[in-house]
Structure 1
Amino acid sequence: MASLKNVGRSLARCTLQSVARGPHIQSVRCRAAAPAVNVRPVDDEPAAPMVKTAIPGPRSKELLRDLESIQNSEAVQFFVDYDRSHGNYITDADDNVLLDLYTQIASIPIGYNHPNLMAVMQKPENLGHFINRPALGVFPPKDWAEKLRKTLLAVAPPGMSEVQTMACGACSVEHAQKALFIAYKARQRGGAPPTKEELSSCVMNQPPGSPDLSILSFKGAFHGRTMGALAVTHSKAIHKLDFPTPLWPAASFPELRYPLEDFVQENRAEEERCLAEVRDLIEIYQKKGRPVVGIAVEPIQCEGGDNHATPYFFQGLQDITRENSIGLLIDEVQTGCASTGKFWAHEHWNLREPPDTVSFAKKMLTGGFYYREQYRPKEGFRIFNTWVGDPAKVTLLEEVVKVIKSQNLVTNMANIGEYLQQGLKDAQTKFPGVVKNARGLGSLCSIDFNNSATRDKAILALREKGIHVGSCGDVAIRLRPTLIFQKKHADVFFDCFDSVLSSFK
């Protein structure tokens, strides 16, 4: 989203009482109320938003000037007082308290300053993980395998039992791609070792050691900002301008029409068209001498505009990978960790077999990727960097997993997601000339505005009322709440959203 630091603010506040809701919105949402789950409140979480100044306020602007003397800070929206942020609420440097439905770009799992995580930080037995950051690939802690079993393998995608940690989402995608390339060449060699020519030529970026291979991705995709991840990213020019990237195939991602139930045949035809394009591109690149070794796809194109496809499309993609003996990389960096009402979004697809690799980060606190056994490299140092992750983050994730399971937060996301989606659908019914295409999977929800200017005004207006949401694509706002988000928080959002949309009528 464009920088917001120079935009003026009013101090209008929306009422937080349920009686202030529009009658249509209120009645439908109440009928869709979610069953109760065991979500325990976070200590010190505010009862409601509170806006005291424009956002960014005087203190944020002062801090911005200071930061600008050190680095480019055009992306900064406001500065945060993380010590005073709690649960679902974020507090900025000017003491404004906002209900946060964007959560550090979808990366806060169980809220700010969760007491369980604060307790983990204070346990003497965990200090070594926080003080020391070992080079995990060569000098892992003695309890490393046990920690991986308690955390990442305890929530592994069905049918997957191997995992590699990494630091962030982009490097997770990068190294998952490397696993696809390694496995493809290993199959080609039929078990034989690399030749001397391959070993010498690869050092100088020359074939045959550096083969001309490719990974197919999708228009509108976002897989990260490092160079390999950029090769499969096609969402915004700002991500890719001036960087050399390989000429790899990019297929059309389905553009579904909403409401889905009214366009079943049209959407099936659109997905068939895109699957046919994938098949054609694989054949074209094979003839070019640049074979496709795998397909990289997001369950939902989040940065690209929250673009969805049906299980039929993803099942078709897996069929194509099997027909061509290539890999399927599912990028769950933003969609993983329970937000969609299942722990992994691809669980909604009923795939005939597990994916080949699944990348993760954000709410998982650590980066990394799961992989099937045939994608494990035979040599050390092939999937490697100094740290390959951080045991401190895995220690925190261990507690997050406990909270998710003990409070049934996957079910909470399914229930709250239904409530949020219904509220967005109600909004588009009430304001048809302003918003449209309400959609979501669990709590990972979005809605389109009729143009980008109105969308941007709505984001600013919501912030004035103490609601923090994110943008994506050209015209959408996206909701990315924590896993402990509840109906009462949704009602606060919808009160303010109704007020903002009413001002655009």
Structure 2
Amino acid sequence: MFRVKKTKIPTVILKDFQKFASGYTKVHKEPDGPCVKTEIPGPKSKALFKELSDIQQCGSVNLFTDYEKSVGNYIADADGNILLDTYTQISSLPLGYNHPELLNTFSNDSNIRALVNRPALGVFPGIDWPQKLRDVLLSVAPKGCNQVMTMMCGACSVESAFKAAFIWYCTNKRGGKTTFSDEELKSVMDNKAPGAPKLAIMSFKAPLLQGAFHGRTFGALATTRSKPIHKLDFPSFDWPCAIFPHYKYPLEEHKRENEEQDKKSLAHVCELFEKWEKKGIPVAGVIVEPIQSEGGDNHASPEFFQQLQAICASKCAALILDEVQTGCGPTGKMWCHEHFNLPSPPDLVTFSKKMLTGGYYARPEFKPPQAYRIFNTWMGDPSKLILLEQVLKVIKTEKLLDLVQCTGKVLKCGLHELECEFPDKINSVRGRGTFLAFDATSPEMRDKIMGNLKKNGVLGGVCGTTSVRLRPALTFAPKHAEIFLDILKKSLQQIK
């Protein structure tokens, strides 16, 4: 077992933590630290990989998990290795593994029936469904967004938000009419205008190769630009892609350059609106991540998002904020866009991952005027809302958003110290809350860092071409941050 030494937490941060330490969750039976017994993957994991590869393509598999033995912020693999998990199922576990409040969720007959009878929510919702939506999803809705549609995952949430934006845009173009001409009804069956209009959704790419990630289904994929392998061989739409700001760090030392990046990006957005209008494919909506996650944890300023919203309003296009990764607290606020002080609510906000169910919030005017316009058989899953209800209770009672802010300070402070100590290996520490990242000096350096982290007992994630990203559970506390920082330091020292 790797023994970690204590990292000194700055006094100001420690005082912040002590303000609410009594409310911090006590994860049952969580180990004191990582314990690595074999190489990773070990012999049992390799045997399982061979077994699975006979059935399906599984080259993406990282490790085989023992979910019986995983607990809190620690993940156990098939070979008995225990790792501190800073990636949490690709940023999807709000309370870590086997949280007692969630394990007890289906201990009553009513909740079991919701699980077993899985209704077709668009046609046969349960008698308690409206109340569940109000009590759970609308209780944490972004301000001004009182409409919510549930979906199964992030990609279908994005797809459905696109449809809502197109419906709203076309209804406005008809002067508010909600009926259709015979020509529209006939032409749409042949995938032709005017029933199937030529419209576009604008997204963002990074100045380098990678950029936005919004999903792998066809509409979402047209706006995804994080890795070529996601898109190869698939036909796509002729939709515009603007350049996302590319900041230099530390931010306080590059204020002028970063402001220029904002201006350059916003000018490109305006240029693309005009260009696609001339092409006869007007932009009906713009989708953007508050933090461009899969593409490299790329950030933009509150002023950038405020001005982007103003541009969308002036062009009569919907602003869609994709909060699939950033939603449900990892930045220290329930929704990352709350950091931006937008003058008015976003038009649509997509969610999934830590929210457990997928879906989108919307302003009232984005409610489709007809049934079946945004629809599928299940439209989410009541059992996921039952789990989310418990998650939100724990977030509130145990003050987890405060914990995220405090732990984030510990992590960020420690990462800044390490980038100063190892400038030949890492740089560009950035992020909000525990939604953090740093860059390695090369892709090869990143591979060495990630390999050493795993050998030393930490499971982490990557994004972009050189970035290491942290996506811990909301229960990740300063004590976990200390362990991570000490192991990261050891991992960097091991690289000669």
The two structures share one fold, judged by TM-score above 0.5: yes
In 1, the alpha carbon distance for the partners of 2:432 and 2:230 equals 26
Query: Which amino acid in 2 is paired with 1:498?
Result: K
In 2, the alpha carbon distance for the partners of 1:465 and 1:312 equals 41
5+ residue gaps, structure 2, are: 206-210
Alignment of 1:308-387 (within 5 A): 308-387=299-378
TM-score by length of 2: 0.96
Residue 29 (structure 1) shift = 4.6
TM-score by length of 1: 0.95
The number of equivalent residue pairs is 486
Contact 2:448 2:495 (8 Å CA) reproduced: no
Residues 27 and 117 (structure 1), Cα distance of their counterparts in 2 relative to 1, 3 Å cut: closer
Are residue 52 (structure 1) and residue 37 (structure 2) matched? yes
Q: Which residue is equivalent to 1:236?
A: 227
Contact 2:425 2:441 (8 Å CA) reproduced: yes
Alignment of 1:115-154 (within 5 A): 115-154=100-139
Alignment of 1:235-254 (within 5 A): 235-254=226-245
Q: Which residue is equivalent to 1:92?
A: 77
In 2, the alpha carbon distance for the partners of 1:299 and 1:388 equals 25
Query: Which amino acid in 2 is paired with 1:250?
Result: C
Are residue 217 (structure 1) and residue 238 (structure 2) matched? no
In 2, the alpha carbon distance for the partners of 1:414 and 1:177 equals 32
In 2, the alpha carbon distance for the partners of 1:191 and 1:101 equals 48
Are residue 35 (structure 1) and residue 17 (structure 2) matched? yes
Q: Which residue is equivalent to 2:208?
A: none
Query: Which amino acid in 2 is paired with 1:286?
Result: E
Residue 28 (structure 1) shift = 6.3
Mean CA deviation greater in 320-329 or 198-207: 198-207
In 1, the alpha carbon distance for the partners of 2:272 and 2:203 equals 10
Are residue 15 (structure 1) and residue 6 (structure 2) matched? no
Query: Which amino acid in 1 is paired with 2:286?
Result: I
Contact 2:319 2:348 (8 Å CA) reproduced: yes
In 2, the alpha carbon distance for the partners of 1:238 and 1:376 equals 35
Query: Which amino acid in 2 is paired with 1:16?
Result: V
CA offset digits 1:148-186 (Å, max 9, x no partner): 111110111112111000000000000000000000000
Q: Which residue is equivalent to 1:226?
A: 217
Give the 3-state SS of the residue equivalent to 2:104 in structure 1: helix
Residue 32 (structure 1) shift = 3.5
Alignment of 1:78-477 (within 5 A): 78-192=63-177, 193-219=179-205, 220-477=211-468
Contact 1:472 1:478 (8 Å CA) reproduced: yes
In 1, the alpha carbon distance for the partners of 2:344 and 2:479 equals 39
Query: Which amino acid in 1 is paired with 2:131?
Result: E
Contact 2:93 2:353 (8 Å CA) reproduced: yes
Give the 3-state SS of the residue equivalent to 2:287 in structure 1: strand
Give the 3-state SS of the residue equivalent to 2:105 in structure 1: helix
5+ residue gaps, structure 1, are: 1-12, 19-25
Contact 1:413 1:443 (8 Å CA) reproduced: yes
Q: Root-mean-square deviation (CA), in Å?
A: 1.1
Identical positions, percent: 50
Contact 2:403 2:475 (8 Å CA) reproduced: yes
Query: Which amino acid in 2 is paired with 1:352?
Result: P
Contact 2:87 2:461 (8 Å CA) reproduced: yes
Moved over 6 A (4+): none
In 1, the alpha carbon distance for the partners of 2:269 and 2:183 equals 33
Residue 77 (structure 1) shift = 1.2
